[in-house]
Amino acid sequence: MKVFALLLYLLYFFAINFQAQSVWDARLDGKIEFYQTTDFGIVLTGTDNSLYAVDGQTGETLWRRRTKGLNETSITPIPSTDLILVSIDEGDKSRVEAIDLLSGGSLWQSDKVKGDVLQLAVEPEQNLLAVVLVKKAKGKVGDEFKRTPIVHVFSLSNGAELWKKELESDVEMMPSRFDSESEVAFTLDNYRAPLILDGRLFLFYEGATSYDARTGKEGTREKFKVNEDNLALTEADPVFDDQFLYTSGRGKVRAVSRRSGEIEWEAKDLGVTPEMAVVGNVLYVRTGGQFTSIKDGETKEKGIFGVSAIDTRNGRTLWRYKGADKGLTNFVFPNAETIVFADKDDLIALETKDGKRIGKFEHKIEKAQFVLLNESNDVVVGGKDEISAFDSSTEISNWGGRQGKNFGGNIPVWKVKHKAPSRGVLRTVAGIALRAIALYFRYGGLATSALSFARGAINLRSALALRWSGLKTRFSSISLTTLASNSAKNYVSQKIHVFGIASRMPNLSNRINGLQITIPNVPDASNIRGQIIGKVIDRATPSRADVQESLLTRIDPVRQVEKLSEYFLRRKRLAELRGNYMYFFTDLPEPFDKKGLVGVNVHTGKDARFILISEPDTRFTIDETIGLLYSAAANRLQAFEMMRK
């Protein structure tokens, strides 16, 4: 019997070591400079020689384009489409190309647009694409770095330029990462992405300005310093209802009429306002919180700390709560009557109707940085190495949680702590631990939503899914509080517009139930208004000169449809995904006895997933739809499997 038990242990030991190896290992043509996942389960990878599209599940190369000099700000996905923008700088020549993600072919290209596309907004229904570019955006971490952004508005389908606008002054930018002593790409991640709404383009770099999206005619404008004390994203992402778009800045909240574009009212003297939510006729505003320093990446605090409620009909402040302390986190709504948030010491609950405090107790989470709601409607409070869940039911407010437990009892439903590994370089390990925990906020859904029930009451519409900034791929550089407050907006639409190789297959949508695939009517270049600033290419047909390898153009039509269906199924699964796990980089317990990632189920508090990877690249990323972690070393891109418990 002992021999049998020993054999079982040895088999288990060897199985663990076998699974610790990579699932696939792609050796590319040079040192890997960057990589990022996409909504289709394809990993875009740039070496110092080429740009690759790698199948995230198999490691197979979908296509490769020989292009030198790319960096992590050179690639910009266009949300809710099958296109990416690639910014290419070749000495005296530069261009921007709209490329089919699935085949590598170009839809259109411009040789008159200079710089990297750092943020964008798109409205496929109106054939509009607004991009924000910055030229020569490289520098050293810690240096003050300023550049003047240029805004171009194009016809999405063919690259016709409708208008452009150079901002009047330089704006301060932030590094793409803080773990390098050499030059890195700088970004606009410290500003909110542009927004196209009701035919108007809103920009948030020199304050808040709106333009007619087709003509560029300027509408409302108010200049103010966007980044207070050199902190990133101290002003809230705009939110809107049927009547108004709400923006913040200079201690005020403004209601901009969606019909006229004019400011209807202002609520003043609020302070720094990093988070807003509209529920019914009330705008809830968080003032103060935790922010990322754009100089060194450290998390810093800025007050006044509290929550306010504003009547959306007239801008009158209904109530203010100023009893919060430093370390203020994002807020959540367990139900229509209650708003919950944490500060450095306490978890606090207020009545939404009058701001009356109905619950307060010590959460005992060191340096709490976020709160969220899980499927049991428990309030989950988290820091860098621990999370706790508290039942949200009370007799006072009738929160509707599990019976017999009271909010304020200071007894968590569960608590989990995973310290960063004790071995290795402390700075690197700490950075990886923070990177791991930030992965959780990559996906939207009820589990990560900062609004929970309120999602149904808010008119999110498609606009919030039709914007892109570096927070989608570089979220390890931003504070967890900021990521949590943005999580409700980081969802993927069930609707997608196809321009590339998939547009030749109109029956594709019949194979993917629940995903609305639209083939836009691409106008003939001779009939469009505006200036064609480059070359228009019919339906993203790859040429051998541009694309050295293109799998989908080499296989027969039947396999082509099967392959495309697989990628669109991944896209559908991502749209339906709900965040279930919080990842920690830590010393794994026996029988693993090595460093790796553990995924804690935020609904149960159980350690449910393990990834055996001792030295991940600090830029590693996880694809939850496939269940793999990607990490790079030299010219190798590797995938590691999630082991489920």
pLDDT in tens, 83-142: 999 998 776 677 899 999 999 999 998 877 888 999 999 999 999 999 999 988 899 998
pLDDT in tens, 212-237: 999 999 887 777 777 778 899 999 98
Q: What pLDDT, on the 0 to 100 scale, is given for residue 10? A: 44
Q: How far apart are CA 266 and CA 256, in angstroms?
A: 9
Instruction: Enter the DSSP assignment of 420.
Output: P
- Confidence class of residue 376 from pLDDT cuts 50, 70 and 90? confident
Q: What pLDDT, on the 0 to 100 scale, is given for residue 529? A: 40
Instruction: Enter the DSSP assignment of 81.
Output: B
pLDDT at 395 over 50: no
Biggest distance spanned by C-alpha atoms of the chain: 83
Domains for the chain: give ranges and CATH numbers: 76-223+516-578 (2.40.128.630), 230-493 (2.40.128.630)
Q: In the structure encoding, which two tokens stand for residue 44, read together?
A: 């875009």
pLDDT in tens, 252-287: 999 999 888 888 999 988 889 999 998 889 999 999
pLDDT at 11 over 60: no
Q: Which of 453, 149, 129, 172 is nearest to 293 (CA)?
A: 172
Q: Average pLDDT over the chain, rounded to whole?
A: 82
Chain position carrying tokens 């080429």: 50
Helix (H) or strand (E) holding 27: strand 24-27
pLDDT at 453 over 80: no
- Confidence class of residue 428 from pLDDT cuts 50, 70 and 90? low
Question: 439 in the Ramachandran plot: left (φ > 0), alpha (ψ -120 to 50) or beta?
Answer: alpha
Q: Which of 587, 217, 238 is nearest to 418 (CA)?
A: 587
pLDDT at 613 over 70: yes
Lowest mean pLDDT among 40-49, 154-163, 475-484: 475-484
- Confidence class of residue 460 from pLDDT cuts 50, 70 and 90? very low
Residue-wise burial string across 428-462, b where 16 or more C-beta atoms lie within 10 A, e elsewhere? ebbbbbbbbbbbbbbbbbbbbbbbbbbbeebebee
How many other C-beta atoms lie within 10 A of the C-beta of residue 197? Answer: 21
309, 321 Cβ separation under 8 angstroms: no
- Confidence class of residue 532 from pLDDT cuts 50, 70 and 90? very low
- Confidence class of residue 12 from pLDDT cuts 50, 70 and 90? very low
Q: How far apart are CA 473 and CA 476, in angstroms?
A: 8
What Rg value do the Cα atoms of the chain yield, rounded?
24
Q: How far apart are CA 520 and CA 522, in angstroms?
A: 6
Cis link prior to 304 (omega < 30° from 0)?
yes
pLDDT at 447 over 90: no
Helix (H) or strand (E) holding 222: strand 218-223
Q: Which residues 6+ apart lie within 8 Å of 450 measured at CB?
A: 275, 277, 330, 331, 332, 372, 484, 485, 486, 487, 488
Lowest mean pLDDT among 312-321, 413-422, 494-503, 587-596: 587-596
pLDDT at 19 over 80: no
Residue-wise burial string across 318-339, b where 16 or more C-beta atoms lie within 10 A, e elsewhere? bbbbeebbebbbbbbbbbebbb
- Confidence class of residue 5 from pLDDT cuts 50, 70 and 90? very low
**Residue-by-residue DSSP string for 562-579:** HHHHHHHHHHHHHHH---
- To the nearest whole percent, how much of the chain has pLDDT over 90? 40
- Confidence class of residue 630 from pLDDT cuts 50, 70 and 90? very high
- To the nearest whole percent, how much of the chain has pLDDT over 70? 83
- Confidence class of residue 489 from pLDDT cuts 50, 70 and 90? low
331, 341 Cβ separation under 8 angstroms: yes
62, 123 Cβ separation under 8 angstroms: no
272, 290 Cβ separation under 8 angstroms: no
Q: Which residues 6+ apart lie within 8 Å of 198 measured at CB?
A: 258, 259
- Report the pLDDT averaged over residues 388-412: 56
Helix, strand, coil: what percent of the chain each, to 5?
15, 40, 45
Q: How far apart are CA 136 and CA 146, in angstroms?
A: 11
Helix (H) or strand (E) holding 483: helix 480-486
Q: How far apart are CA 544 and CA 351, in angstroms?
A: 64
Q: What pLDDT, on the 0 to 100 scale, is given for residue 194? A: 94
Instruction: Enter the DSSP assignment of 204.
Output: -
Q: What pLDDT, on the 0 to 100 scale, is given for residue 129? A: 96
**Residue-by-residue DSSP string for 437-452:** HHGGGGS-STTT-SSG
7: helix, coil or strand? helix
- Report the pLDDT averaged over residues 370-375: 85
pLDDT at 458 over 60: no
Strands (E), 143-205: 146-147, 150-155, 160-166, 171-172, 174-175, 184-187, 195-197, 200-203
- Report the pLDDT averaged over residues 544-548: 64
pLDDT at 163 over 90: yes
Q: What pLDDT, on the 0 to 100 scale, is given for residue 455? A: 43
Q: What pLDDT, on the 0 to 100 scale, is given for residue 475? A: 67
pLDDT in tens, 194-213: 999 989 999 999 888 889 99
pTM of the full structure: 0.87
- Confidence class of residue 545 from pLDDT cuts 50, 70 and 90? low
474, 187 Cβ separation under 8 angstroms: yes
